[in-house]
Amino acid sequence: MRALAKLEQVLPSRLRHRVAALSSATVPLPVGGPSVGADVLTAIAATVRDHERLRFDYVGHDGGSSRREVEPHRLVNRGRRWYLVAWDVDRSDWRTFRVDRMTPTIPTGPRFAPREAPSGDVAGFVARGLDYALWSCRASLRLHASADAVAQRLPASIVVEPGDEHTCVVHTGADSYEMIAVHLAMLDVDFDVLDPPEFADHLRRTAARYLRAADTATSA
């Protein structure tokens, strides 16, 4: 980001506003990855600045390609990898896109009224999404405790959605269902499994094992 500031100082006035747009449209987030062409970054940053819809071809992590139309909100830098946080028009939800997988199309779309940022923290939104994507096993759970109480006992990478004053929904993950179960046990809170069924099956097997152990201790 310091490089952008230095570049802006030496550019002619006709180009300076483009770099200023890129600087104002980005949020730094520490760590590494592949570089992205400056022309792509400045084109996306201009749509963020001007509140114009952006259309692009996108290659997903599975190699599949799709055409997307979004309301771009902010560019986030994590080391050498760039991400675009945007409202996906077709999916009616916030999404994070890797810029190195995007091929913007011209012209840009119509102007739009900016929406409130997801969670009020764009960098945190991206970080949580990246951490969630790295987990081999994931689970969504309804915990019978308030969101505030639960959030204080969980790392920031785990998403906690408020329910009523006595419940919340947690989206979490780990390298195995065993580790998710261990973390839940440490919370000492009643919960319901919302998804996936495989995690519920794992809990049934674990519960049966513990019950057998308890019965053995009783009979002894």
Domain, as residue range, for 93: 2-121
Q: Are residues 42 and 81 in the same domain?
A: yes
Q: Which of 98, 121, 144 is the last residue of a domain?
A: 121
- Percent of the chain whose pLDDT exceeds 70: 75
Q: Is the pLDDT of residue 7 over 50?
A: no
**pLDDT tens digits, one per residue of 139-176:** 989 999 998 888 888 876 677 888 888 999 888 888 89
**pLDDT tens digits, one per residue of 21-66:** 555 655 555 444 556 788 888 899 999 999 999 999 999 877 889 9
Question: Edge to edge, what strands does the sheet with 159-162 contain?
Answer: 159-162, 168-174, 137-143, 191-195
**pLDDT tens digits, one per residue of 57-114:** 999 877 889 999 999 998 887 656 788 999 999 999 999 898 999 999 988 889 999 9
Q: Are residues 184 and 106 in the same domain?
A: no
For the whole prediction, is pTM greater than 0.85? no
Q: Within a domain: residue 172?
A: yes
**pLDDT tens digits, one per residue of 182-217:** 999 999 999 999 999 999 999 999 999 999 998 887
Tally of structural domains, the chain = 2
Q: Within a domain: residue 130?
A: no
Q: Are residues 117 and 146 in the same domain?
A: no
Q: Are residues 106 and 159 in the same domain?
A: no
Q: Within a domain: residue 127?
A: no
What is the predicted pLDDT for the residue at 75?
87
Q: Are residues 144 and 114 in the same domain?
A: no
Helix then strand then coil, in percent of the chain rounded to 5, is: 40, 30, 30
What is the predicted pLDDT for the residue at 109?
85
Q: Are residues 6 and 109 in the same domain?
A: yes
| Residues 6+ away with beta carbon under 8 Å from 150 | 143, 160, 168, 170, 187, 189
Q: Which of 67, 98, 121 is the last residue of a domain?
A: 121
Q: Are residues 80 and 56 in the same domain?
A: yes
CATH number where 208 lies? 3.30.70.250
